[in-house]
Amino acid sequence: MRFITLGVYMVIFWVAFCLVRAFTIVVLVLRVDRVALALRGKRRRPRVLYLAAFFPGNAGYEGRVRSWAQVLRQSGFDTKSRWCLDRQRFEDLLHQSGVVVGFHLAVLIRRIWHCLEAPGFDAVIVRRELLLFNDYGGLFMERLLLALNRNVALDFDDDISVAKREPRPVGGFGRLMLESGSKFDDCLKVYPRFIVGSSYLESKVRSRNPVLGSEDIAVVPTCVDAADYPLKRYAAASGERGTAFGWVGSVGNLKQLDLVIPALEALSREHPLKLIVISGEPFHRNTSFEIVSVPWSYDTQGASLNLIDVGLMPLCDGPEERGKCGFKLIQYMTCGIVSIGSAVTTNIEIIEHGLNGFLVWKQGDWEVVFREVLAQKDRFEEIGRNARRTVASRYTFCANQARYAEFVKKLCEVGSLGKQR
């Protein structure tokens, strides 16, 4: 049955692929992008299309699509956001038994339709990837989109190529499907403009695409609205209940907590503590201290974070971790929570050790830093206020609004003068 399903999928995919490639050639020959530009004319309010990888309620959608679309509307733009599947449909198709053919086909069909909308907009912002979890076809969808509208920027805030273990070996079925073992890295060479979450990611883009100019990349951190995060009040906390260490993040990153479990175990022998884990799935480990799992949701994350006394962001110092943009720290600090992070790339830019948080430079130093932090419990309110001020000045939508809007304005104005690749 599996082979039959794969065979049907291959036939449908190849029909779609050939039609898209043929249509792309026609679009390029007829210069549809220039025709669309002339038809759009000079609008009073530029129109921007967001092509989101995930659905409303997902952290990535809320933080880098919905919120920025709202900011642009406040700045004089009209915006529309498109995503392929709602949460229920996404999970049903992705986690069905056997191959996820239904998921791939549903996303492909919707993305073709979304690309056909692109000529009606002054700019398009693609979040992460056009075809999520689908590396077949040699960027054929990206080439269609860029043929229809050259004013396109790719937005991402993780090193996706490393997360996907690129370059990956391609098997026999993959070769038949024109699978790319380095799809995301290939995307960095094709897209003409980028919005990235850190200077580290900017340097990676420039290493893959050295012809980019100074105005072709905007470094915009994943931002917060401080109004959504209630301020932590340490003075109201009881000293007898011990210290609530905490972590927030996706299910795929729960393994990072294993980096601090031994240090917390050692600390718990002298200091009463518990670990609060805010995520999509419960976190279980055999420990002598209590672990409390709190379900994550976008609407309740601010209140959930306020259960934490000390926020944690442990990371290995590997290629994938270096691409992280420190959003956990930003969330803790927005609440005025004392935070501790591994001294890896962007974390170093966010935290000033001892002033607005704490850094751990070596994996074996977590227990040492934990003790340093607990020795300064009388400073938690002060450190938390410093942290919140840091976020207000650098990591809120308000602080980045002018830069983001200016970049998108220039993206809308590029028109036929954009780089042709």
Whole-angstrom distance, CA of residue 144 vs CA of residue 254 = 37
Query: Is the CB of residue 231 less than 8 Å from the CB of residue 336?
Result: yes
Q: How far is Cα 311 from Cα 340, in angstroms, rounded to an integer? A: 6
- pLDDT for position 149: 96
Helix/strand/coil for 217: strand
Write the CATH number for 405.
3.40.50.2000
Range of the domain at 137: 2-6+45-223+398-417
Q: Is residue 21 one of the residues assigned to a domain?
A: no
| 174 and 245 housed in the same domain | no
Assess whether 337 and 373 both reside in one domain: yes
What are the structure tokens assigned to 189, written together?
């060479």
- Residue 100 sits in the same domain as residue 177: yes
Q: Are residues 270 and 206 in the same domain?
A: no
Residue 404 shares a structural domain with residue 342: no
Dihedral, CA of residue 294, residue 300, residue 303 and residue 306, to nearest 10: 50
Neighbours of 95 (CB within 10 A): 9
Position 26 in a domain: no
Q: Are residues 142 and 236 in the same domain?
A: no
Tell me the C-alpha distance between 250 and 259, whole Å.
16
Q: Are residues 261 and 322 in the same domain?
A: yes
The domain tally of the chain equals 2
- Domain shared by 152 and 286, yes or no: no
Is 24 contained in some domain? no
The SS3 assignment for 53 reads: coil
Residue at 71 is within a domain: yes
Confidence at residue 3, expressed as pLDDT on a 0 to 100 scale = 75
The helix/strand/coil state of 337 is coil
* Rounded Cα gap, residues 353 and 213, in angstroms: 34
Which position has the token pair 């309010």? 45
pLDDT by 10s per residue, the chain, length 421: 677 778 888 999 999 999 999 999 999 999 988 888 887 776 779 999 999 999 999 989 999 999 999 999 999 999 999 999 999 999 888 877 555 788 999 999 999 999 999 999 999 999 999 999 999 999 999 999 999 999 999 999 998 998 889 899 999 999 999 999 999 999 999 999 999 999 999 999 999 999 999 999 999 999 999 999 999 999 754 455 789 999 999 998 999 999 999 999 999 999 999 999 999 999 999 999 999 999 999 889 999 999 999 999 999 988 888 888 889 999 999 999 999 999 998 999 999 999 999 999 998 999 999 999 999 999 999 999 999 999 999 999 999 999 999 999 999 987 643 443 3
User: Is residue 109 in some structural domain?
Assistant: yes
Tell me if 286 is assigned to some domain.
Answer: yes
Using H for helix, E for strand and C for coil, what is the string for 366-407? HHHHHHHHHCCHHHHHHHHHHHHHHHHHHCEHHHHHHHHHHH
Q: Which residue has the tokens 């679309």?
A: 69
Show Cβ contacts of residue 389 under 8 Å, excluding neighbours closer than 6 positions: 356
Q: Give yes or no: residues 120 and 232 share one domain.
A: no
Are both 93 and 63 inside the same structural domain? yes
> Both 390 and 402 in a single domain?
no
> What one-letter code names the amino acid at 102?
G
The residues facing 282 across adjacent strands are none
Kindly state whether residues 238 and 319 are assigned to the same domain: yes
